[in-house]
Structure 1
Amino acid sequence: VIDKLYQLGAAPSKGFWVGLLNQATRKGETALMAASKAGHVATVRKLLEYGSDVNGTSISGNTALHLACAKGLPQVAEVLIDGGAHVAMAAADGCTPLLRAATSTSTSTLKLLLTRLNQKDIDARDKEGFSALHLAAKTGKVGALTALLDHGMDVGMKRSGASNADGSETPLISAVRAGQTDAVALLLGYKADVEQRTGGRTPLGWAASEGKMRVARLLVDIGGADLLAIDKKTGRVPRQLAEACGHIQTSQLLSKMARGEWLQLRPEDQCSQPSHEMALAHVPPAPHILRDRGNKEAW
């Protein structure tokens, strides 16, 4: 169809048809963008051959490459890149094609982009300060996380350009707050710092305050998270944060886990635990202390 239209329009001029090819919808999307996000590889090639603007942008600043990457279409993305698409161009929200690919279902698209970008562009952030690693963590894209980490991205990289409360947010905390258990487990496997705080709160504190029970268990069982880490703003330990936020089951789980952890200590180490920390975690004092106080019932 495109060939026939072009042949019919040869008389007016090639420029006329180039202009027609680049006509946009109300959202600013051209025929090339429509073909790209639909995955029509042959049509994309033909439109580029006839002069479609490969780096034209929609109202939201997306190029055809952004749209192909968001849909996880590696073949289309490769044709666009070979046709001159800018691989590090940012849309209105600050997202580059790599950041779009980080939340898609195709790891192949992301891997393709990694071979065409320098490290600075790989570490690019959106306007909220999130990197591709943060976005993959938030959306639970473990394939993208693995590809990015294996390519050398820092598992502990912090969110940039955010408020003081969020400026230290790591991909682990992003995954924790989104309740992405698979992403949390993967990041812990890559030795993510389980005690790195955001807004004065550890990942376990965030899991507790938002009622993410499965995530909380992973942080403790796999990451060895501190069950008595005190929130710097509220002065509460994770169990208390869960209770204060209405997540009673999470609070009970954390209390049980803290008690089990304490029982594994030697008697002399149990005695060394500050009494206020034990009380906050609902952990009983050592048995011999209770006996000395004549309170056998409490144990």
Structure 2
Amino acid sequence: MLLDKGADVNAQGGECGNALQAASSRGHEKIVQMLLDKGANVNAQGGRYGNALQAASWNGHEKIVQMLLDKGADVNAQGGEYGNALQAASWNGHEKIIQMLLDKGADVNAQGGEYGNALQAASSRGHEKIVQMLLDKGADVNAQGGECGNALHAASYGGHEKIVQMLLDKGADVNAQGGHFGNALQAALSRGHEKIIQMLLDKGADVNAQGGRYGNALQAASWNGHEKIVQMLLDKGADVNAQGGECCSTKEPT
């Protein structure tokens, strides 16, 4: 009815940016087809998801993803909360959509969005199969960016032991710096993931590395009350007098 009354199919504005992105995000296949038939711009930018393809990918609407790709959607278009369609699908674990995007030439190492890249997004959520898919396609295991800094930090923070091992086996730098926690060891310490901490230490994680919110590993463990982990770190030679971070010392601020 709106289209018959002359509604602009490409009008911009609102949370979803345009009608095509709104319909794609909610999985309304018939409406997506109507809009495309009326000349909707498949690559229009704007809104929360940046474009219709990212919206459909994040929400797992496989048929709509295919419809958009068939209409020439740019598989590597940047923008929106998740940076690109591949990162959006990776965060939510939509394996089939990821395969569709990769088959269409999605850049496995594209940067941008909240998680920096698709590998970090999948690692943060514990999607083991997707992590493997991305690694098999050449994902850079040490790519930097996003809130967590890199994939190893994200997996360590989330407590995803198998993914941590997969990343380490692929050559992830155990001492890479970046992100909210500074390094993977601090990320794991912040949540008390003892097994991951041991894995990182066994791979040569620097127990006295500086940086991140807590300044160093010993402060992170002390601040979070992890007595057993504090002992592990001391046994590994943690400097009890090291300074830095928002805590400034291993004693809880008063």
Q: TM-score, normalised by structure 2?
A: 0.73
Percent identical pairs in the alignment equals 26
What secondary structure, in the 3-state scheme, does the structure 2 residue paired with 1:102 have?
A: helix
Name the structure 2 match of 1:47: 35
8 Å contact from structure 2 (residues 58, 92) kept in 1: yes
Q: Deviations over 1:228-255 (max 9, x none)?
A: 7322469x98556523543224324x26
Name the structure 2 match of 1:156: 142
**What is the CA distance between 1:155 and its match in structure 2?**
1.4
2:221 aligned with 1:242, yes or no?
yes
Q: Deviations over 1:3-46 (max 9, x none)?
A: xx87xx4xx7xxx35x2x44566325444323322223344233
* Number of residue pairs aligned between Structure 1 and Structure 2: 237
**What is the CA distance between 1:123 and its match in structure 2?**
1.9
State the distance in 2 between where 1:50 and 1:147 align: 37
2:59 aligned with 1:80, yes or no?
no
Aligned with residue 225 of structure 1, among 203, 211, 223: 203
**What is the CA distance between 1:172 and its match in structure 2?**
0.5
Aligned partner letter, 1:219: L
Name the structure 2 match of 1:59: 47
State the distance in 1 between where 2:21 and 2:178 align: 39
Aligned with residue 132 of structure 2, among 125, 138, 146: 146
State the distance in 1 between where 2:239 and 2:162 align: 33
Gap change, CA 1:248 and 1:53, over 3 Å in 2: same
Gap change, CA 1:52 and 1:247, over 3 Å in 2: same
State the distance in 2 between where 1:192 and 1:127 align: 21
Residues 79-228 of structure 1: pairs in structure 2 closer than 5 A: 79-93=67-81, 95-117=83-105, 121-126=107-112, 130-159=116-145, 169-198=149-178, 202-220=183-201, 224-226=202-204
Gap change, CA 1:279 and 1:188, over 3 Å in 2: closer
Aligned partner letter, 2:88: R
State the distance in 2 between where 1:107 and 1:246 align: 38
Bigger mean CA offset, 149-158 vs 180-189:
180-189
Q: Which has the higher helix share?
A: 1
Q: Deviations over 1:51-78 (max 9, x none)?
A: 2232233434621111001112222111
Gaps of 5+ in 2: 241-254
Gap change, CA 1:238 and 1:77, over 3 Å in 2: same
Gaps of 5+ in 1: 260-276, 281-299
State the distance in 1 between where 2:30 and 2:187 align: 48
8 Å contact from structure 1 (residues 94, 125) kept in 2: no
Gap change, CA 1:228 and 1:53, over 3 Å in 2: closer
Aligned partner letter, 2:157: R
Task: Extract structure 1 runs of 4+ deviating beyond 6 A.
Answer: none
8 Å contact from structure 1 (residues 209, 247) kept in 2: no
**What is the CA distance between 1:106 and its match in structure 2?**
0.6
Aligned partner letter, 1:175: A
